[in-house]
Amino acid sequence: AAQEGFDPEEVEGAIGEAGHGPLPVLAVVGRPNVGKSTLVNRIIGRREAVVQDKPGVTRDRVSYEAEWAGRRFKVVDTGGWEQDVLGLDASVAAQAEYAIETADAVVFVVDATVGATDTDEAVVKLLRRAGKPVVLCANKVDGQSGEADAASLWSLGLGEPHPVSSLHGRGTGDMLDAVLEALPEAPAQTFGTTVGGPRRIALIGRPNVGKSSLLNKVAGEDRVVVNALAGTTRDPVDELIQLGGITWKFIDTAGIRRRVHLQEGADYYASLRTAAAVEKAEVAVILIDASESISVQDQRIITMAVESGRAVVVAFNKWDTLDEERRYYLEREIETELGQIAWAPRVNVSAVTGRHMEKLVPAIETAIEGWETRIPTGRLNAFLGEIVASHPHPVRGGKQPRILFGTQAGTKPPRFVLFASGFLEHGYRRFVERRLREEFGFEGTPLHISVRVRE
Ligand code: GDP
Ligand code: GDP
């Protein structure tokens, strides 16, 4: 009865949208200045600012949701590299490596006004070895006269060059049609839907927080390297590690063990690598150095894990070094700085002494449980009914918006759709989320709540 006023098809549609599974991933790669960011902006419909970043400025986000011809996918922007520090070829190769690891298809952007360079040729080799579908974008073809330049890119051996002007939009539609043909319906890494198999953990955190020490402590001698990445690197990537009597798959341990001491420019590369690991994982264990103040870089990593919708555990490391005063200030910092993951289980560990290592597994299990929780529709609506009765939305402009009906459209992480008779204010949504957590737990998981308003 609470559904009154809603067309069942509309409800279905909204649930389908909010409950979509993982999206296929499209990576946009190419040399600096060929127009990757401009193209990404064009693809995502300028809903998010990308291009105004100065070259080389570290970005927090690398992936955006996009839609074309009714199909949704993720676009990964690999622009913004510190080319001077990493070296041009290194940075472009690193992008390609990232694309290979994470993407289901690749758009390779070439500046048609320049033609194919040696760096372009080198990337083509990497891409070909990876065996992912590639769509060739001949960019900066702003008019008819550029078509010949585009045609000359047939020589790259990647099939038809699609002449595009990312700046003006010319040709992007045709190119996106080709992208949709190249993209699978569902990503190769079907996150939650894998039946059986070890759970996937990404151990993340800024440099020197103790990731490598922790990994060595928990892994001991009996680790099994399970996946040598084909193509750009011979490093072992994922390892099976026994922890608390359970086998877990730790993602990209090569990235953890390899201690690249490049200067500043390595940051963006490290953050891409972290993003790739998080995308492949089910749970992110975020390591924070408890002996130091929580930093902007810590926050960035947390945001990355939360936005990618993974289960999250926070581990404060180097606990052995803390005196009473630092512990006091840390508590205050956690209150003021870590509000966005107040729901995540916390463990205070020491990779050196082994303190509280045994608490890691229960925390991870709690987070996965929250992440996979499904609330039956009946129970959810009984709960929503109570909220509406006890804490109605404030009256605005003589009207009182009301939640009419809700349903959980998906899990991993839990996604809810609320149908309402009017716009629900931000504060009220926050309140509903807080109450949902109080009632149903959801420890260690982000929650997605979308609201549909009956016009
Ligand atoms: P990125 O380094 O590959 O991300 O390149 P950007 O997107 O930052 O673009 C580099 C420069 O090329 C900018 O000045 C853009 O305005 C310009 N640009 C990008 N796409 C086009 C295009 O289709 N036509 C023209 N004429 N310029 C473009
Ligand atoms: P990563 O860059 O995150 O992999 O960090 P490392 O594992 O290389 O650790 C960085 C430094 O912190 C090393 O000197 C470690 O010995 C030290 N370290 C790591 N964990 C702890 C800990 O729990 N206690 C103390 N006192 N030092 C630690």
CA distance 333 to 225: 38
The first and second tokens of residue 406, run together, are 């809700």
Residue 188 pLDDT: 57
User: Which of 206, 209, 211, 213 has most ligand 2 atoms within 8 Å of its beta carbon, as the pocket-test mutant?
Assistant: 213
pLDDT of 50: 42
Residue 95 phi/psi, 5-degree rounding, is -60, -45
Ligand 1 in reach of 51 Cβ (< 6 A): yes
Give me the pLDDT at residue 334, please. 95
Q: What pLDDT was estimated at residue 214?
A: 92
pLDDT at 365: 95
Task: Give the DSSP letter of residue 60.
Answer: S
- Report residues of the chain scoring pLDDT below 50: 1-3, 19-20, 47-61, 80-86, 189-195, 227-235, 261-264
**What's the gap in Å between 39 CA and the centre of ligand 1?**
8
Sheet holding 448-453, edge to edge: 403-410, 415-420, 448-453
Q: Which amino acid is at 6?
A: F
Q: How far is CA 166 from each of CA 107, 187, 192, 412, rounded to the nearest angstrom? A: 13, 26, 35, 35
399 appears as a binding residue in the annotation: no
**Ligand 1, closest atom to CA 79?**
4
Q: Is the ipTM, as predicted for this complex, more than 0.85?
A: no
Kind and range of the H or E run holding 180? helix 172-182
- How far is residue 431's CA from residue 383's CA, in Å, rounded to a whole number? 13
Task: Give 241-258 pLDDT, tens digit per residue.
Answer: 888 888 899 988 877 766
* pLDDT score of 101: 66
The best mutation among 204, 208, 360 to test binding of ligand 2, ranked by most ligand atoms within 8 Å of the C-beta, falls on: 208
Looking at the DSSP bridge assignments, the partners of residue 124 are none
Report pLDDT for 238. 82
Ramachandran bin of 449, using left for φ above 0, alpha for ψ from -120 to 50, beta for the remaining angles:
beta
CB-CB contact of 314 with 453 (8 Å): no
Pairing of strands 415-420, 403-410: antiparallel
Please report, as a single letter, which amino acid is at residue 269. Answer: Y
Please provide residue 205's backbone torsions phi and psi, each rounded to the nearest 5 degrees.
160, 160
pLDDT given for residue 167 in this prediction = 93
Residue 198 DSSP code: P
Whose atoms come closest to the Cα of 169: which ligand?
Answer: 1
